[in-house]
Chain A
């Protein structure tokens, strides 16, 4: 209980510190594009019940679906590649060749093929986070200690049971790390993808307020997108505590 209280207090202190920094920066720059925190917060609480909540919900839906699909494809593949050196030898060059291609540049192509809707945004995010997840998970699977595998093999485990009892739980902490990194990436890409030819989502909301030169409202959107990232991070932390209890002993 005490440590939970401490953690909450640390978060509150960190938030206050950021607001103070923001305020100092706003005072120094003295530019309407960077309003002070109080008017931005007032705008946030005013507009959130009116329309902002809907944009937040839509963006969160897109981020979560993309993250789920990305993990569902890349995690099993990464685990398998990590444990099958022959397949890895064959697929790694393709991975390394396609990894550095800036997939965001393919956005017009994706829009042209899949039209402007949720699907095209989700495909773009999945294409990008797929690589982050597969490489992290593959490396984790390769680093599972041989002793762990041998000891379970000596108990008569089948290859499927080795995955169930050794490879998957052994890689779970890195899967959570990959999910956390991909979450940040997904939010950034979605912001970009929602910035044109769309009428909903936080990216749209922020750019629309910007085009109206309504800076406090624009910052209300920025606060919403930050809160979205923070809450999703907390949920991932909670899930990691729930599914990897041995890390917290």
Chain B
């Protein structure tokens, strides 16, 4: 679905050129869930922005459906760490924005949003502004905005990192359920080992400065019922932990 061929990304810091990502060779297969994990400053966010078409590689190429990705594609949606909601729009207006930009008719927008809002238990919040919502509710609105576009590829940049432990687990369940129901391919960037193991069928480990793919681990039990409480979940977490310890040194 999405291919990164020998991708590197450098940015200028004053007069010096700093490598953020180096030689990223990576294939995202349709229908799979990926989790990218690495230490702070390893270029995780840059990598997700490259996949979204918001950044362009310094060298190498990114192909979506075999064609170069030059700008955000309509099959791809992005959820940001700080939710990316506009404070001046109500919950409804925020969620409707993507559809509006695609010139979808008002009636159709209402029909789509009513369903998504019901699914995400947001119906009571539609007239509120983002400042009137809890962190968990804000992230649900961001999810609603993304889902209303029926994306085939859902990219998430540390979407739950600002939330408390319980809300976080609850939203992990919601995300898992929605990815299955909407049959989406997903890429999650996170610094939480448990989250990566819970949501990633494939776990990609990045080294820091410059970011480089060090290891890719299969996680075949991901998504099975009660995975969080299974011994295999803890074993996978400790495998990821030891790899991270090795590569962050």
Q: Which residues does A use to contact B, with CB under 8 Å? A: 145, 147-148, 150-157, 161, 165-166, 169-170, 172, 244-246, 249
Contact = CB atoms under 8 A, between A and B. Distances in A.
Contact of B86 (A165, A245, A249): A165
B101 A169 contact: no
B139 to A, nearest CB: 13
B54 interface: yes
Given A249-B129, A249-B131, A154 B86 contact: no
B52 A154 contact: yes
Given A147-B82, A150-B80, A246-B129, A155 B98 contact: yes
Interface in B49-90: 49, 52, 54, 71-72, 74, 76-78, 80, 82-89
B75 to A, nearest CB: 11
A247 to B, nearest CB: 9
Interface string B71-115: 110101110101111111100000001100110000000000000
B47 interface: no
Majority secondary structure of chain A interface residues (helix, strand, loop or mixed)? helix
Contacts of A151: 78, 80, 83-86, 142
In this complex, the member of A147, A151, A166, A172 whose beta carbon has the largest number of chain B beta carbons within 10 angstroms is A151
20 contacts: A147-B83, A151-B85, A153-B54, A153-B72, A154-B54, A155-B77, A155-B101, A156-B71, A156-B102, A161-B101, A165-B97, A169-B86, A169-B88, A170-B86, A170-B87, A170-B88, A172-B88, A244-B88, A246-B87, A246-B88
Nearest to A155: B98
Nearest to A149: B84
Contacts of A245: 129
Contacts of B78: 150-151, 154
